[in-house]
Structure 1
Amino acid sequence: MGWQQPPIETVPPSATSAGQEAIDLAARAGLELDPWQQYVLRQGMGEKPDGSWAAFEVAVNVPRQNGKGGVIEARELWGLFIGGERLILHSAHEFKTAKNAFKRIERLIRGCPDLHKRVKAYRYTVGEESIELHSGQILRFIARSKGSGRGFTGDCNILDEDMILGDEAMDALLPTMAAVANPQIWYLGSAGIGPLSVQLGRLRRRALAAIEAGTPDPSLAYFEWSADLHLDECPQGCTAHDDAASDEAVLKANPAIGYRLTLEKVANERMTLSRDGYARERLGVGDYPSDSADTWQVIGEEAWRALAAAESAPSDPVAFAVDMTPERSHAAIAVAGEWRGGTHVEVVDHRPGTGWILDRAAALHERWRPRCWVVDAAGPAGSLIADLQERLGVEVVQPRGRDVAAACGQFFDAVSEQTLSHLDQAPLAAALAGAQRRPLGDAWAWARRIVSVDISPLVAATLAKWGLGAEVEEPEGAPNLW
């Protein structure tokens, strides 16, 4: 069986849910939902104590032929016949897709006499397909365009094929919900396909940021079934990522396996599709564009680049620091030292894996005899502290939470005051571009904007700079040799 709960998920807290009502109504209409479809409805239709939706936006990202249409139909049936939503707008990128959706839900309603007798009219005029109840509720189907949806005040917007959804369509549709007391918008589609997946990319980044921070997005419920495939730099035998040719990757990304899909059918796809096509269409591995506004959130790119100095180099005394990603896929060693009345920071080494760290640290320690090594015991690299101390024969400085916050503040201030220099190294720039703040008491510390960003070079550089002022026993005889 495919995974019935998604590998990537964030849901705001709720007190109750209307999801079971939608599931039961769908069953009355002859639509039996898979466990994963029921799960999405229960979670996505969660309600606050006052009865309003817990999630204003609900996004379902799942490969093709897994049954997202069933989720849409159940949500629309509830809105029409139970929720009392005056207008539900169902849009798709292409008119034929919206028309097919209209035909499917019409069949469900006509097949259930209790529901059919409540329908005033089924309208088939091209471009105005809709279902209207005697009580006034309307479900309307439209193709997305720059102007479609303008003038309609929808209680619920269903945006199908959200991997093709850009600013123009959102600018037309989203403001229609501003006057609604309890609106909700649903996005459904498959993996991102690059520049066309603008809105899906934004939703996904919000979800990953919430997961990374350990705090649900307050208005977004996001469900994604996808595999996390091996990277080029993965070591042999890596267990942190998925093999694209494995059944495990298929089961992880396709909840309908065992219901309407089989591993045998997928094996045929694997042999026929291109590698990238198979990864995207069946394993949910997408290409998501990023907004420029979503990068360089803490320190501006121009401010950082302005501090680059090719001749910059650390002088004694120096401090080293080690950090790694939570997945332990990459690690970094950074150094900080005085330079022209300010501080020089530099990434000494940044590589995949962690097995190289002790040997490299020992070589650096032998050459530089730094005043200290710094490792955040509460971070992923904390597991290295004992081995590092034994190998180097020194006490590793372990900053407390307030020290980490102070280190981040000092790094930020040094950039603002232009007392920091660096070599414009790509790992450090990439980390800054993808970093954001996370609250730490009354201050803040570095956090990754999305899971794919590696900020270990930035964290290591920040801790190394802080290490220059940490209280340590000064080592003797530090040779001025790199």
Structure 2
Amino acid sequence: MTLLLEAPASSPPWMPTRYSLPLAEDFTTHGDWLLRLVDVVWRLPDGSALELDEWQRWLIRAMLETYPAGHKRAGELRYRQVLVSVSRQNGKSVLGAILGLYGLVREAGALVIGIASSAEQARIIYARLLSVIRGNKSLAARFARLTDTRGIQSLDGGRYEIKPSKSAAVQGLDLTVGLVDELHITKPELWSDMVNGSAARRSGVVIGLTTAGDDSSELLLQLYKNAEDPGARFGFFIWEAPEARIPEDDETLGAYLCAASPGLACGRLDLETAISDVRGLPEPDAIRYRLNRFTASSNAFITLDLWSKQRRPSGQAFPSGRPIFTFDRTPDWGFAAITATVKAGPDTHSELVASITNPNLEQLVAVAVELNRFSPVVFAMDGYALKDLGLELKKRGLPVWIANQGDVINASALLYAKLSTGKLWHAGDPLLTLQVPRTVRKNIGEQFRISRGDSSIEIDGVLSTAIGVLAAETRSDDTLQVF
């Protein structure tokens, strides 16, 4: 099989950057009858027909290519494994649901298994397909059971089930179609077990739909390597930008985005909006999710230039309003930082209140009691570092919010977003000026968080600022007073 490194100049603009060439120009495929079925039965919630992009129709046909007449495997699917890698917002869940329908109606006794990083993620594809089946009387009549969580079962014994993202969950299963969403956070052994499970079927196939990963994405890195020298039954369709960088000029950035996003290249998505969105994203996220290129699992969080740009102008006072006081400490209790945060209209303001050397719990409680004279909206803290402080303050009747890991993930993203859009102002405190450019973010699945362990310096001030910004965004204050 020949590897096509770049689509020919005469190809449509939405063609993949790298993909498996068909066996013949007029190849046979199960995609033809599947697309006819989709055109008949697939309806959107408003009752209108689903209009697939040209690239989506091409991809479905290419993925489901069959061996031609005269071949020893005539009529069988060419690929037993398929990798589809494309940037976000290109309808991967719709493609997954269509492929789920294909698996269910292809043969009697079919077994379709859906896998993702979480049951909620896997249920997105499942729910789309379930809605389509329920919405078409003729199609629904072919099924004995249609449940929201416990599987879809056809009258001929076929079924679609969601399984947890664990190898043991799929071992021994005789798969017709395996659907894996977001391969970059899927374990290699899970993929192998699904491929092995599909071997008993004449045309069993495992299909992975994903965006690019990072240097910890072991399975996806291996599948990309397989694409460099693919075997006869491995299909790959990869859309990616020419380089893993954000061009400074919009024209080049637009070309990079179109290379990674067939939805943009075919004109369905708005390029101007996409360019604007990318300019407001953290660079690692823009490269990974919009240019569909691999990044490091750990990256610098905020540049000093971005932080310095949002320093409150000289002479501008901290705004009035009931503050949020946020506490954080270093793991060794060497230092503690306390910040004040106030939301004033669309803008959020933050500044360092205190940095304490060698604090203890009693001292932090005493500081909080003293700060309570400013009638704060809440005292906030990271539950991993200062849960005991929160509990002590609650005993004293003070308003407390203890952030969990999910909150810290949200706080990390919000802090960056506020800075990049010019909606966070700070006092230019020397401690934060030192800590911010040395703070590292760590990928956590599809998200990221500020990482103490990966940063080259203590970051108590940065974490205190981030949690305070999230608290200010999520807690209202209708009573104003001077602070």
Instruction: Name the TM tier (shorter chain).
Output: 0.5 to 0.7
> Are the counterparts in 2 of residues 34 and 259 from structure 1 also a CA contact under 8 Å?
no
Deviations 1:87-133 (A, max 9, x none): 111111111011222211111111122111111101345xxx31101
SS at match of 1:201: helix
Secondary structure of the structure 1 residue equivalent to 2:219: helix
Q: Give the 5 Å matches for 1:316-395.
A: none
Distance 1:230 1:133 in 2: 45
Q: Secondary structure at the match of 2:220?
A: helix
Give the whole-Å Cα distance in 1 for the aligned partners of 2:295 and 2:251: 16
Aligned pairs for 1:51-200 (under 5 A) are: 51-84=75-108, 86-125=110-149, 129-195=150-216, 197-200=217-220
Shift of 1:83: 4.3
Structure 1 partner of 2:30:
18
* Aligned 8 A contact 1:25 1:74 in 2: no
Q: Is this contact kept in 1: 2:28–2:65, CA < 8 A?
A: yes
| 2:53 corresponds to which of 34, 37, 48 | 34
Q: What secondary structure is seen at the aligned counterpart in 2 of 1:180?
A: coil
Partner residue, 1:204 = 224
Partners of 1:244 and 1:54 lie apart in 2 by 39
Rounded Cα–Cα distance in structure 2 between residues aligned with 1:200 and 1:288: 14
Please name the residue that 2:259 is paired with: 252
Contact 1:227 1:249 in 2 (8 A): yes
Residue of structure 2 in register with 1:224 after alignment = 238
TM-superposed CA distance for 1:2, in Å, is: 9.1
How many residue pairs get aligned? The number is 271
Tell me, in whole angstroms, the C-alpha distance in 2 between the residues paired with 1:276 and 1:288. 8
Aligned partners of 1:106, 1:287: CA distance in 2, in Å? 35
Give the alignment of 1:260-275 within 5 angstroms. 260-275=268-283
Match of 1:286 among 280, 294, 306: 294
- Alpha-carbon distance in 2 for matches of 1:8, 1:140: 32
Q: Distance in 2 between matches of 1:261 and 1:33?
A: 13
1:53 positional shift: 1.0
Distance 2:281 2:251 in 1: 13
TM-superposition CA deviations, 1:212-244 (whole Å, max 9, x none): xxxxx4111111111012789xxxxx9xxx989
Say if 2:17 is the partner of 1:7.
yes
CA 244–185 in structure 1, closer or farther in 2 if over 3 Å, else same: farther
Q: Aligned equivalents of 1:279 and 1:173: distance in 2?
A: 30
Q: 1:37 to 1:87 in 2, by over 3 A?
A: same
- Is this contact kept in 1: 2:244–2:294, CA < 8 A? no
The answer to whether the 8 A contact 2:111-2:174 is kept is: yes
Q: Which amino acid aligns with 2:31?
A: G
Q: TM-score, normalised by structure 2?
A: 0.52
SS for the counterpart of 1:163 is helix
Displacement after TM superposition at 1:12 (Å): 5.2
Letter in 1 for 2:54: P
The 1-side partners of 2:245 and 2:172 are apart by 47
- Structure 1 range deviating more: 186-195 or 5-14: 5-14
Contact 2:114/2:180 (CA < 8 Å) preserved in 1? yes
Task: Tell me the distance in 2 between the aligned counterparts of 1:71 and 1:275.
Answer: 28
1:199 counterpart letter in structure 2: L
Q: Which has the higher contact order (CA 8 A, sep 6+)?
A: 1
Amino acid corresponding to residue 228 of structure 1 in structure 2? P
Give the 3-state SS of the residue equivalent to 2:262 in structure 1.
coil
For 1:173 and 1:206, locate their aligned partners in 2 and report how far apart those are by CA, in whole Å. Answer: 17
Q: Return 5+ residue gaps in structure 2 as ranges.
A: 1-10, 44-49, 69-73, 298-483
**Match of 2:167, SS?**
coil
Change (3 A) 1:156 1:141: same
Q: What are the superposed Cα offsets for residues 149-188 of structure 1, whole Å, 9 maximum, x if unpaired?
A: 1232111111111111122323443332232222111011
Which 4+ stretches in 1 moved above 6 angstroms? none
How many Å apart are 1:261 and its aligned residue?
A: 2.4
| Cα distance per residue 1:280-325 (max 9 Å; x no partner) | 1101111499xxxxxxxxxxxxxxxxxxxxxxxxxxxxxxxxxxxx
Closer, same or farther: CA 138–271 of 1 in aligned 2, 3 Å: same
Write the letter of the residue equivalent to 1:271.
R
Question: Cα–Cα, structure 1 residues 34 and 159, in superposed 2: closer, same or farther, change >3 Å?
Answer: same
Which stretch shows the higher mean deviation, 172-181 or 107-116? 172-181
Q: 1:118 to 1:230 in 2, by over 3 A?
A: closer
Corresponding residue for residue 361 of structure 2: none
Say whether the 8 Å CA contact 1:25–1:78 is kept in structure 2: no
Report how far residue 79 of structure 1 moved.
Answer: 2.1
- Structure-1 separation of matches of 2:225 and 2:192: 20
Contact 1:11–1:222 (Cα < 8 Å) also in 2:
no
The 5-angstrom pairing of residues 371-450 of structure 1 reads none
Distance 2:276 2:108 in 1: 45
* Matching residue's letter, 1:145: K
Identity %: 24
Pair 204,230 (structure 1): closer, same or farther in 2 beyond 3 Å: closer
TM-score by length of 1: 0.52
Secondary structure of the residue that 1:222 maps to in structure 2? strand
Query: Equivalent residue of 1:5, what SS?
Result: coil
